[in-house]
Amino acid sequence: MQKHAKAHFVILADPLAEGTREPTRPRPRRGERPAKAPDRLEMIARRQHNSRRRDLLFACFVALAAISGVSAAGARALGAATHTTQR
């Protein structure tokens, strides 16, 4: 007859222990309405705001790349001009 090995598990933290649960939302007091979810128009406005911010950031990076390219081309042209005049 074989003995069955019992599985031993280590419980690191009890999720139901005091202080480890997610904080609950307080109940609204009498006469107060519960916080409502954002409506459709608010969500559309928030998306537009985020896309405008993303577009502005993209435009800034494009402008930096253009400035970097122009300055590098100017440095190359200046180097080529000084190189030919020194011959």
Integer angstrom CA distances of residue 68 from 57, 60, 61, 72, 75: 17, 12, 10, 6, 11
| Domain assignment of residue 10, yes or no | no
Average pLDDT over residues 61-66: 96
| Domain assignment of residue 65, yes or no | yes
**Average model confidence (pLDDT) for the chain?**
78
| Domain assignment of residue 45, yes or no | yes
pLDDT band (50, 70, 90) for residue 3:
low
| Domain assignment of residue 52, yes or no | yes
Which domain covers residue 51, as residue numbers?
39-87
| Domain assignment of residue 19, yes or no | no
| Domain assignment of residue 2, yes or no | no
| Domain assignment of residue 78, yes or no | yes
pTM for the complete prediction?
0.46
Give me the residue label for tokens 């494009």.
62
Domain count, the chain: 1
